[in-house]
Amino acid sequence: MIKAVIVEDESLIAKELQAKIANVAEDVDIVEILPSLKTARKWFMQNAEPDLLFMDIQLSDGVSFELFDYFNLNCPVIFTTAYDEYAIRAFKVNGIDYLLKPVDVDELRRALDKCRKLVDSQTKMPATVQELLHTLQHPPQNGTLLFKEKFIVNVRNNWIPIATRDISYFVRENLNYLFTHTGDKYILDYTTLEEIEELLDPRIFFRANRQYIVHIESIQSVKPHENQKLTLTLKPPLKIEVDISREKAPGFKKWFDR
């Protein structure tokens, strides 16, 4: 079974593509649909590379080429979007293919046949293709993905900036709080931890469980358990313990050990 991931910010188009793939290729399993560059970066940080990628180029928060800046992706890629004619010709090489929307079923079948051969032979993406992607990865519009650099907290009716690099962890305790590396605690004006998580660089912060998001530099030690769960101990003066489930443990290890 070929495990594939779709990177597409329009949910209806993503579901339509998934249905077309299911109709023409029973051996291709779509394991994830990633709706933005930010979620794609987070997913690739915590999961193994798939066998095949379907990628829109222009996403709501940037261009998919940026993924190649952060990850050494060697699997075949099929791009599915509208783009300049020169790029269409350029992508038609060495297992990278290009499909115009709406995706034609026959073209999809041919593209899958081409990529299936690469997957079966375990051939890596050629360096010439990687160079091509590198030359196309920085368009002028919406090309930069930014993460939050500071959070504003209210202290005695004064707004105080807390730099993200100084935050040890975020925690949900009826309200959402942040704790700094020095142990200071502040209330945040966010409804959920999910809202906060979307603003953070996934290379630096990890969603440990429903209650905690931790900074990589705040972790003093990690204790594995027989049930495959993990317990993090944060550095002094905090020294609190944060549990990670068996399901999240592999993703955490990959994130922490890099």
pLDDT at 124: 54
User: Angle, nearest 10°, between helix axes 37-46 and 249-256?
Assistant: 90
pLDDT at 94: 37
Distance CA 229, CA 177 (A): 25
Write b or e for each residue in 230-245: b if 16 or more Cβ atoms lie within 10 A of its Cβ, otherwise e: bebbbeeebeeebebe
CATH topology of 2-136 equal to that of 150-256?
A: no
In the three-class reduction of DSSP (H, G, I as helix; E, B as strand; rest coil), residue 109 is classed as helix
Return phi, psi of residue 222, to 5°: -130, 125
Distance CA 253, CA 258 (A): 9
- The CATH homologous superfamily to which domain 2-136 belongs is Response regulator (3.40.50.2300)
pTM of the predicted protein model: 0.49
pLDDT at 215: 97
pLDDT at 96: 65
* Domain residue spans of the chain: 2-136, 150-256
Domain 150-256 bears CATH identifier 2.40.50.1020: yes
Distance CA 13, CA 3 (A): 19
Write b or e for each residue in 56-80: b if 16 or more Cβ atoms lie within 10 A of its Cβ, otherwise e: bbebebbbbbbbbeeeebebbbbbb
Q: What parts of the chain have a pLDDT lower than 50?
A: 85-86, 89-90, 92-95, 127-128, 135-145
pLDDT at 122: 63
Q: How many Å separate Cα 144 from the centre of its chain?
A: 15
